[in-house]
Structures are given as C-alpha cells and as structure tokens.
Amino acid sequence: MKIILFGPPGAGKGTQASLIQKQFDIPHLSTGNIFREAIKNETELGKKVKKILDAGDLVPDHVVVDLVAEELEKDHYANGYILDGFPRTVSQAESFDQLLKSKKQNLDAFIFLKVPEEELVKRILARGEGRSDDTEEGVRKRLAVYEKETKPVKEYYEENDIVFEVDGTGTVDQIFARIRALLEN
C-alpha cells in the first residue's frame, strides 16, 4: 500500500502515520523527521533547512524530491509506505508522479486530515516542539503558507480519484478508527 497522509500543520499526520505503520506493517517516511535528523546532526542540508524553516518558509522542491527519491530506493519501502509531509507543492506532486510512473507504480490513497484552523493553532502551541516560530503569529503564518502553497496538492490529487477526506478532530483513537476503516475497505 502506497499512501500519502496529508493535512495542515498540527493535523496529526505523524501520530496517525505511526498508528497506520503499526497496524498495517507499512514503513513511515516523514520528510520532517529526515530534516529534523539533519538539523540535529548539523549536516550541510540540516543547516540549510534550519535557516529556511526558522524563516517560516518551505524547503525548495528539488531538495525535497531528491531526498524522498533517494530514501524510497531503500529495500524496506519495496512493498509500500506512508508519506507524511510530502508532497507539499504541486510541483513536488508532479515530480513524485513522474517517479512513480518511471517505476510503473501507483499511489493507492491520498488521505486528507481535515481539522479547523483554531484547533490546529491550539494543538501546535500545546505540543511545543521548540521551533522558533511556535508562537500564535508564527503558527498562523505557517497555516497561511500551507493554504497558499500546500493545499493545492489535494486539488491536484482529486483529479485521480484517490483523495479520501477524514475528520481529523476527536481523540487519536477516534481519528485512527476512521482511517483504519477506510484502509480496510
């Protein structure tokens, strides 16, 4: 199963991806985790990404696509994966589709976690990841960038009839039950 788990910052993508991973034994690929690891290890990519993220901007498409393509070459992704945090732009989605076509593969599901903005702000401020933009103003800026640059990815995939909207409110278990029911069908 090849799945994209999609939604705004704070929607719970990472949490739900971990539960899907355990339930269906599918590896989870989070570009955010790859970037955080690079930042923590102060690699060249990490330093570059930190500067971009601290400004509240998105990492350039070519950097992200190359990173994901390289990661997906690893054997443990051969039977499927959950992508979380990718693609973030239509350009990334188009490049990813080309990658899949070159490997004669298809995406099975694009799961969109739908959560109201006020709930997103509350969640992000409560989790306190220590990002320099974890202020109400910074969070709202990230959500505005998402609306402008990332949400169009959902519209791009809607043309392929693989988009499934899931109510992302409620408890972690309630949200996961909705996703699990969708994937089991």
Distance CA 46, CA 103 (A): 29
| Total length of the chain | 185
Active site residues: 13, 88, 127, 131, 142
Distance CA 95, CA 66 (A): 10
Is residue 139 within 8 A of residue 133, CB to CB? The reply is yes
Q: Which two tokens stand for residue 4?
A: 């994209």
- Compute the half-sphere exposure of residue 32: CA atoms within 13 Å on the CB side of its CA: 16
Contacts 24+ apart (CB under 8 A), 58-64: 58/88, 58/89, 58/145, 58/149, 58/150, 59/31, 59/35, 61/89, 61/91, 61/92, 61/95, 64/31, 64/88, 64/92
109-114/163-167 β-pairing: parallel
